[in-house]
Structure 1
Amino acid sequence: MNPLEAETDALQRFYDNKLAIEEARRNNPEATFDYNHPFALMTQAEFKAHVRGVMFKESRSAFRSVRSVQLNVSAPKAESVDWTTGDCVNPVRDQGQCGSCWAFSAVGAAEPAHCIVTGELLDLSEQQVTSCSTDAGSDGCNGGWPYAALTYASTTGLCLESDYPYTSGDSSMTGSCDSSSCTVQQLSIGETVRVSGEEALDTALNTQPVSVIVEAGNSVWMNYRSGIITQCPGAESDHAVVAVGYDDSSYKLRNSWSTSWGEDGYIRIKRGESGLGMCNVAEDVVFPQIGDGPTPTVSPSPTKPTTSPSPTSAQPDVCENCSGCYYPAGDMCLPDEYTKEDCDYYSDEFGAVWCGP
């Protein structure tokens, strides 16, 4: 591309992003958006590819192996929670040019969990997780998912950031695992467990920050500056962050795109949405159990049916406008990525109904 073509291309990217910002402002009147971020000259396709650090289809099957727990959602909860005002959350990081959000999300949940138990806030190595945690298909800069990383951290331990610094953000390379060269810190965290739904997310946040997977590969997240997101375009979860609190109207999420993005690296999204939550924040919630907080009770492990669920008399009504998997708790037809196999699994735990074809 010659200089003139490069300039024309940059101007076109700027113009396209200008239109995207205008649309985001119309759809999210409680938030602000601008160009002052690291992705200003990316196309939407480039940004979506850059953000995608969670291998969603792979993680969906692996997510089923994570022990589901049932929290006491009726227990008294604080009106608002913000773990960033205490002493157990490290500053916002920058994952750079590497699809390692899953590692940052896991470390961002492990550090405060250990701190809540011990009173010691460690600065742990995201590079070790990126390079060394390969369970459940996690593949460094090519994406992974937080459950595998949290399990790795709890069973193996992690080095300090100062001993095993993060380099993949500049190199875009996963790097070979070299954890033997530093002193591994054994963490005071337990088994990684999962919950779903806003009530369970709220309950968990009263005990600790948690890892969540959200829908972020869109112009709303790309250009976010401040305020509360009330509309998330698209449907596919693709990015892992840390939920660190909530108030009456929003959840506060800790991202890994540096402090030059958003509210010093944080974003707030609407609280009180039905179904999966705004930007799917309440769909895939994982965290390490800690002994200091209330111990969740185990929900019965669902038995995956060998055949599709028998239709009930209500099925024709709920399926009237749904071709695929109907999710009754949110009164919604789930995206096409939810297969019949997924729907059969969710039928036991969430009452999902397969509407065909």
Structure 2
Amino acid sequence: MYYTSNHSYTCKYYTSNHSYTCKYYTSNHSYTCKYYTSNHCYTCKYYTSNHSYTCKYYTSNHSYTCKYYTSNHCYTCKYYTSNHSYTLAVNKFADMEFEEFQKKYLLTAPQNCSATQGNHIFHWRDIPKAFDWNKWTRKVVTDVKNQESCGSCWSFSTTGALESHTAIAYSTLISLSEQQLIDCAQAFNNHGCEGGLPSQAFEYIRYNNGLESEADYPYTAKDGKCKFDPSKTVAYVADVVNITLGDEKGILDAVYNHGPVSIAYDVAADFQFYKSGVYSSTECKTSPQHVNHAVLATGFNETVSGEKYWIVKNSWGADWGLHGYFWIKRGENMCGLADCASYPVVHD
């Protein structure tokens, strides 16, 4: 322990490899640091009178992560100076560590959703470079919804697909009930706010003979007792189509020729702060047993530089990402997005 006129500190040094840890105390702040000068990286945590933050820097590849806390504001930022084509930003999830975020918003029940051999039939016709059901001749995609603090993304992916396929077939767009799926679909291996799969939810709707509207069976963001009323069903599933494991061309064909497709993938820690651009990750996993979030692919496009991506509707509210949507790299089964794809058939 050392004391000077304006500060005190404790340190442990390892001079053989030029690394050390220190804790400092001054009149207006304290901090701890760990330095590794051999590879030019270090972590620090600072505390001052009005804010605290943690940082991790990697100067060898010029990337770092930071988390800041001020008196009434908390945010996280992550920078990549290499050629990443997406941006992250402060948002409503920035006051949560990823572990907390996982528990509140992602699937927590074990999932294994692969269809080793799917039953999607290709149309084998030319597909344009860009297409989005949000820009069709009439509105066939409902507005972005908010699952809130419940791992019910699977139910929103399910209703989103069924809403659109019903609207495409019958020209009527009705917001459907996620809560009915949360409360009533357990027999089809779904687990309410702990998770489920769209393909299994489609099967429930099929054998249950229908799904109620959002208006008749409203969302509560928590598990509840099943209150299904068969006299109020407004949407139906005649069959369920699963797309073969890893087959992004099958998803492309299905999105263009049929309608939006339910997909699931593995969310990495930085994704909660997505703002814009084509997302990609080397941290996420690409196997069906690791999927932890279900969403809805509504279209596809490519950037001016030729990078192909999916246009995806999320269920974290319109104030997240691209007005509730995100773009994710297409053609590489990014984060396992092509391992669990399915869509409903709404007519015989």
TM-score (norm 1): 0.69
Match of 1:80 in 2: 130
Q: 1:158 and 1:198, CA in 2 relative to 1: closer, same or farther beyond 3 A?
A: same
Listed as ranges, the matches of 1:27-66 within 5 Å are 29-35=84-90, 37-53=91-107, 55-57=109-111, 59-60=112-113
Q: 1:130 and 1:11, CA in 2 relative to 1: closer, same or farther beyond 3 A?
A: farther
* Deviation (angstroms), 1:253: 0.7
Between the aligned partners of 1:155 and 1:14, the Cα distance in structure 2 is 51
* Deviation (angstroms), 1:240: 0.3
**Partners of 1:28 and 1:230 within 8 A in 2:** no
Between the aligned partners of 2:325 and 2:264, the Cα distance in structure 1 is 15
Listed as ranges, the matches of 1:155-174 within 5 Å are 155-156=207-208, 157-168=210-221, 173-174=222-223
Does the residue aligned with 2:118 lie in a helix, a strand or coil?
strand
Identity %: 29
Q: 1:76 and 1:68, CA in 2 relative to 1: closer, same or farther beyond 3 A?
A: same
Residue 194 of structure 2 is aligned to residue 139 of structure 1 = no
Match of 1:124 in 2: 176
- How many aligned positions are there? 271
* Deviation (angstroms), 1:158: 1.3
* Deviation (angstroms), 1:134: 1.0
What runs of 5+ residues in structure 2 fail to find an aligned partner? 1-46, 57-64, 68-75, 303-307
Residue 222 of structure 2 is aligned to residue 179 of structure 1 = no
Q: 1:222 and 1:232, CA in 2 relative to 1: closer, same or farther beyond 3 A?
A: farther
Greater fraction of residues in helix: 1
**Partners of 2:103 and 2:151 within 8 A in 1:** no
Q: Which has the higher contact order (CA 8 A, sep 6+)?
A: 1
* Deviation (angstroms), 1:265: 0.5
Residues 71-117 of structure 1, C-alpha deviations (whole Å, 9 max, x = no match): 32643212211011231100000000111011111111111111111
2:85 counterpart letter in structure 1: E
Q: 1:283 and 1:182, CA in 2 relative to 1: closer, same or farther beyond 3 A?
A: same
Match of 2:329 in 1: 270
Does the residue aligned with 1:192 lie in a helix, a strand or coil?
strand
Does the residue aligned with 1:282 lie in a helix, a strand or coil?
coil
1:281 counterpart letter in structure 2: L
**Partners of 1:211 and 1:243 within 8 A in 2:** yes
Residues 116-151 of structure 1, C-alpha deviations (whole Å, 9 max, x = no match): 111111111111111111133211111111112112
Does the residue aligned with 1:91 lie in a helix, a strand or coil?
coil
- Displaced runs of 4 or more, over 4 A: 10-17
* Deviation (angstroms), 1:48: 2.6
Listed as ranges, the matches of 1:235-314 within 5 Å are 235=285, 236-248=290-302, 249-273=308-332, 277-290=333-346
**Partners of 2:266 and 2:292 within 8 A in 1:** yes
Q: 1:14 and 1:180, CA in 2 relative to 1: closer, same or farther beyond 3 A?
A: farther
Greater fraction of residues in strand: 2
What runs of 5+ residues in structure 1 fail to find an aligned partner? 1-7, 293-357
Q: Which structure is larger by alpha-carbon Rg, 1 or 2? A: 2
Residue 146 of structure 2 is aligned to residue 94 of structure 1 = yes
**Partners of 2:120 and 2:241 within 8 A in 1:** no
Residues 247-293 of structure 1, C-alpha deviations (whole Å, 9 max, x = no match): 132101100000111000000011122xxx1121111111112559x
Residues 191-225 of structure 1, C-alpha deviations (whole Å, 9 max, x = no match): 11211311101000112001000111x23311101
**Partners of 1:163 and 1:182 within 8 A in 2:** no
Between the aligned partners of 1:33 and 1:71, the Cα distance in structure 2 is 38
1:269 counterpart letter in structure 2: I
**Partners of 2:152 and 2:193 within 8 A in 1:** yes
Match of 1:71 in 2: 121
Match of 1:193 in 2: 241
